[in-house]
């Protein structure tokens, strides 16, 4: 099983830090505690692993979303 190194995770944390700061509030549960950035397009292997850890949500190649609420399981 592949896992991210701490260095790779740190790099992603830094590159998504700003996005995380600007995430919308979830309209269903009314807060952003469980909202993570949605990432559009084909992910790299490392990004897929980062998404597997729950830090971001891959939205595929179709529509772009700002975020994903982990609690309500839907895109925002």
CB of 74 to Zn ion, least distance (A): 7
> Binding mask 8-47 vs Zn ion (x if CB under 5 A, - otherwise)?
------------------x-xx------------------
| Choice between 56 and 69, CB closer to Zn ion | 69
| Choice between 10 and 29, CB closer to Zn ion | 29
| Choice between 58 and 72, CB closer to Zn ion | 72
d(C-alpha 25, C-alpha 31), whole Å: 5
CB distance 4 to 49 below 8 Å: yes
Q: How far is CA 48 from the centre of its chain?
A: 10
| Phi, psi of 40, deg, nearest 5 | -90, 150
- Residues in the chain, overall count: 76
Residue ranges that bind Zn ion, judged by CB under 5 A: 26, 28-29, 69, 71-72
């Amino acid at each position: 099983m592949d896992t991210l190194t701490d260095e790779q995770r740190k790099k992603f944390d830094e590159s998504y830090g700003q996005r995380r700061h600007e995430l919308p509030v979830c309209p269903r549960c009314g807060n952003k505690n469980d909202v993570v950035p949605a990432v559009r397009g084909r992910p790299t292997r490392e990004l897929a692993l980062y998404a597997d850890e729950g830090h971001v949500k891959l939205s595929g190649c179709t529509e772009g979303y700002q975020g994903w609420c982990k609690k309500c399981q839907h895109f925002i």
